Amino acid sequence: MNDHKIIFSGPVGVGKTTAIGSISDIEPVITDEKASDMTKTQKPGTTVAMDYGMISLDNRERIHLYGTPGQERFNFMWEILTQGGIGLILLISNNRPDPFSDMHFFLDAFKQFIGSTKVVIGVTQMDLRNKPRLEDYYLQLEDSGLKVPIFEVDARVKRDISLLVEALLYSIDPGLEG
């Protein structure tokens, strides 16, 4: 059996836990605790170690899904969780005050990991705030010299999160069959 590891990351409240739960074939392992800092204004609980889920593929392969904590104070987990990973799914909320700053922060924080793997970006909560548009994200990345697949996603919708996983796998191995 072949096992692979994909990392989900992004700021607090973008939908990492929800995304893993929407696509996992097993009941996800969630390490949420009661929020005790400024996060509690956004949501009652927050991931403090990781989220974990798994997808079983037909050909005896499994993809292990690990969600990082979104708070920078838990960034020691980011390096631990990326070990052995094949790529990063970065979720960015369009409803946060400065989603471009969030995107650049996480791309920089995971720069070394991304340099040896691949990254795909999913923009969540565009139904709550429709600007910036996806084109604006592409322009931001282009200005930074990066070419990264970007998709509008709803973390609650399995098909949307499947699209992110498939896009990441195709960017790693363009010869994969659908």
- Which 3 state secondary structure label does DSSP give 24? coil
Contact of 137 with 123, CB cutoff 8 Å: yes
The pLDDT value given to residue 44: 53
Strand ranges across the sheet with 87-93 = 29-34, 45-56, 61-67, 2-9, 87-93, 119-124, 150-152
pLDDT in tens, 40-57: 555 455 555 689 999 998
Place of tokens 């604006």: 136
On whether the CB atoms of residues 76 and 68 are closer than 8 A, the answer is no
pLDDT score at 106: 96
Task: Please choose, from the candidates 28, 19, 51, the residue with its C-alpha nearest in 3D space to the C-alpha of residue 158.
Answer: 19
177 within a domain of the structure (yes/no): no
CATH number at residue 47: 3.40.50.300
> What is the secondary structure of 70-97 as a DSSP string?
SSGGGTHHHHHHHTT--EEEEEEETTSS
Higher pLDDT, 64 or 144: 64
The contacts of residue 172 (CB under 8 Å, 6+ apart) are: 86, 87, 117, 118
Band the pLDDT of 75: cuts 50, 70, 90.
Answer: confident
Residue 74 lies in a domain: yes
> Residue 82 domain-assigned?
yes
Give the total number of structural domains in the chain: 1
Residue 178 domain flag = no
Question: In this model, does residue 110 exceed pLDDT 70?
Answer: yes
Residue range of the domain that includes 55: 2-172
- Say which range, 24-28, 74-78, 136-140, has the weakest mean pLDDT: 74-78
Q: Higher confidence at residue 28 or residue 178?
A: 28
Region 22-31: mean pLDDT is 88
Residue 36 lies inside a defined structural domain of this protein: yes
- What is the reported pTM? 0.88
d(CA 100, CA 103): 5
